[in-house]
Amino acid sequence: MTTSRDRDEVFLELTRSICPVCKQTVDAEVNARDGAVYLRKRCSEHGVFEARVYGDADMYVAAQRFNKPGTRPLQTQTEVVDGCPSDCGLCPEHKQHACLGIIEVNTGCNLDCPICFADSGSPRANGPDGYSITVDQCATMLDAFVAAEGEPEVVMLSGGEPTIHPDILAMVDLAQQRPIGAVNLNTNGVRLASDRAFAQELGARNRPGKSVNVYLQFDGLDAETHLALRGRDLRTIKQRALDNCAEAGLTVTLVAAVEKGLNEHEIGPIIRTGLVHPAVRSVAFQPVTHSGRHVEFDPLTRLTNSDVLHAIAEQLPQWFRTDDFFPVPCCAPTCRSITYLLTQGHPDDPDFGLVPIPRLLTVEDHLDYVANRVIPDPSIREALEKLWSASAFIGTATNDTRLRQVAEALDCVDACGVNLPEALADITENAFMIVVQDFLDPYTLNVRQLMKCCVEEITPDGRLIPFCAYNSVGYREQVRTEMSGIAVPNAVELAPLLTPTPYGSRKASR
């Protein structure tokens, strides 16, 4: 007699993805088993692929309540022909505007890291498809961002390594001449460490309403971590860069790429380092994106957002619980989680105080978009939506304003050693932010999440392409092909632009 047998997994959703080999769009499903969440897909040519996308199934399901209705951009740039992810962007079917715009100013770098989702470095810069954008191209890209967003809160200048671009300060100036609140400079810190005058020039551009913030690559404190992820020991360089930023009055976010088996044990020490250094106001953890260059890995055991959250609570139990972090509602809620802290004193002092803001305010009541409940205070919801957003960076005028709004609603109960009235008197100095962000790659790409993406790459022809599509689908290769005139493998075809703007009229310098 034949008996039926139950499956060993729970089916959660049907979606679309890409084959990580040929990049063709394929059907995919998301399943939960053994307490974790996996994405499985089948390519007719290359077979079945499966990847771990969330290490805690309970947290994955609970996060779906924090899925805020999207906001339309003022403009879209491309038509819908083949559907997501083939028509970026942004196309009219995209579900969210751009909270954060990224401009990559070059492909060259002063490091050759073993991991680099952008596949940057000296071989790429000197190769036939390397490029740097011009000042005029940067202006065009900024104008495209403003046209789509009106008054964007923040733009990030990235690369390659943006600080080696000879016109990088002029590009900061261009951004500040437009209605853009803040400029983030995404850097490995090598020039900031060696060129104190450059740090001072950046600091001089940091003024009320037009802030300049440093997004500093900072993967850990062990030499082994630096050698594995960056190819050389950068610990002295990172410290010098931080000190020069502090002297110049620059706000810094420490940005750690976290790879399983390499540096997840350093998550707690990185937070402690950020709390100690006067320039650092936030820390961002990013599980390694396995596109471009990366170390060998197993998609079935890869590190995810929830793994980082559990590591924070396990490595710093005196300060954190996993429920101190809430999903970011503007994107797919499993993509990014954030918490804010109020701190008082130095972490090494016996009277140091630290309390996560979610312990003083019912964040869940305000950001749960599924439950049919009366919102306690619409103005607090609006403030929290700005704080729990991809555009949120401590040191910007918008974030400071929202922090002050939220401060008025905080409850003094369970303040964990923090003198709340004193801390709130200067909340912008006493607040600290921790972000955990897992970007999609060719193994984990999920169109349902991608369509809500609010972090966009701005291309020289004026498109805004979701960051995860840019790195996974073939858009990065497409841009390199168009900018250099050299065919790059895996480049997708150009999506139809609503207002055609040929690359050839604005060729990059090489």
For Cα atoms 74, 78, 82, give the angle at the middle one, nearest 5 degrees: 130
Q: If you average pLDDT over residues 195-209, what whole number do you get?
A: 94
CATH number of the domain enclosing 255? 3.20.20.70
Sign of the C-alpha dihedral computed for residues 478, 480, 486 and 489 taken in this order: negative
Give the residue with greater pLDDT, 356 vs 510: 356
For the stretch 131-183, pLDDT in tens is 999 999 999 999 999 999 999 999 999 999 999 999 999 999 999 999 999 99
For the stretch 74-115, pLDDT in tens is 999 998 989 999 989 899 999 999 999 999 999 999 999 999
Q: If you average pLDDT over residues 269-278, what whole number do you get?
A: 96
Work out the pLDDT band at 125, boundaries 50, 70, 90: very low
Mean pLDDT, rounded, of the chain = 88
For the stretch 9-66, pLDDT in tens is 999 999 999 999 999 999 999 999 999 999 999 999 999 999 999 999 999 999 999 9
Q: Which helix (H) or strand (E) holds 43?
A: strand 36-43
Q: At residue 388, does pLDDT exceed 90?
A: no
- As given in the structure block, the two tokens for residue 266 are 């350093």
Q: How many domains does the chain have?
A: 1
For the stretch 244-256, pLDDT in tens is 999 999 999 999 9
DSSP state of 292: S
Q: Which residues of 167-202 are buried (b: 16+ CB within 10 A; e: fewer)?
A: bbeebbebbbeeebbbbbbbbbbbbbbeeeebbeeb
Residue 468 lies in a domain: no
At residue 261, the pLDDT reads 93
Q: What percent of the chain has pLDDT over 70?
A: 90
Work out the pLDDT band at 411, boundaries 50, 70, 90: low
Work out the pLDDT band at 429, boundaries 50, 70, 90: confident
Residue 165 lies in a domain: yes
- As given in the structure block, the two tokens for residue 233 are 């020991």
- Which of 118-122, 126-130, 261-265, 272-276 has the lowest average pLDDT? 126-130
At residue 494, the pLDDT reads 59
Residue 294's domain spans which residues? Answer: 100-448
Residue 457 lies in a domain: no
Contact in structure between 456 and 90 (CB atoms under 8 Å)? yes
Q: Which helix (H) or strand (E) holds 175?
A: helix 168-176
At residue 343, the pLDDT reads 87
For the stretch 212-255, pLDDT in tens is 999 999 999 999 999 999 999 999 999 999 999 999 999 999 99
Residue 47 lies in a domain: no
At residue 4, the pLDDT reads 63
Residue 77 lies in a domain: no
Cis ω before 85 (30° cut-off from 0): yes
SS3 337: strand
- As given in the structure block, the two tokens for residue 253 are 């976010």
Residue 383 lies in a domain: yes
At residue 504, the pLDDT reads 39
At residue 500, the pLDDT reads 47
Contact in structure between 264 and 303 (CB atoms under 8 Å)? yes
Residue 52 lies in a domain: no
- Residue that the structure tokens 């789509």 belong to: 148
Give the residue with greater pLDDT, 431 vs 145: 145
Residue 166 lies in a domain: yes
Q: At residue 444, does pLDDT exceed 60?
A: yes
At residue 101, the pLDDT reads 96
